[in-house]
Amino acid sequence: MSYDAAPPRNPSRYNRAMADRVIHISEEEATSDFASVLARVRAGAEVVIESEAGKLPVAVIHPPLPARRNVSECIALARKHEEETGHSPVLDPDFADDVEEIIRNRKPWNPPAWD
């Protein structure tokens, strides 16, 4: 494997500095120690698996993006929190004004005909 820094002493544990880097490995290296590849991805690294000639990327493995919630899900979670704890969420004083401004200034979505 090619590293931007020296590999860690314990290959089953990776430090944060290592996790911030993009790691380039060959197909052979990926198949011979795939558990190590996954450990690095779990630590936050992006792993680029390259062809044996090392010229073309074959695959890129990275951690999944965090899940996102829409507004109705956030409202439902806030209501559930209030029911369970008896305390309603407190928004910052300007939040309602910000939301109203966003709604006032939004433009309608007109997708192209082919979508």
The tokens describing 40, both together, are 């690095």
Residue 20: what pLDDT?
57
Q: 0.75 cut: is pTM over it?
A: no
Beta-bridge partner residues of 50: 26, 57
The tokens describing 93, both together, are 């004083």
Instruction: Please give the sequence-ordered ranges of beta strands (E in DSSP) within the chain, or none if there are none.
Output: 22-26, 46-50, 57-61
Give residue-wise pLDDT tens across range 29-87.
Answer: 999 999 999 999 998 899 999 998 877 899 999 988 877 888 888 889 999 999 999 99
Beta carbons of 61 and 47 less than 8 angstroms apart: yes
Residue spans of the domains in the chain: they are 16-61, 71-105
Q: Predicted confidence band at 21 (pLDDT cuts at 50, 70, 90)?
A: confident
Q: Looking at the predicted structure, is the pLDDT value of residue 111 above 60?
A: yes
Q: Predicted confidence band at 6 (pLDDT cuts at 50, 70, 90)?
A: very low
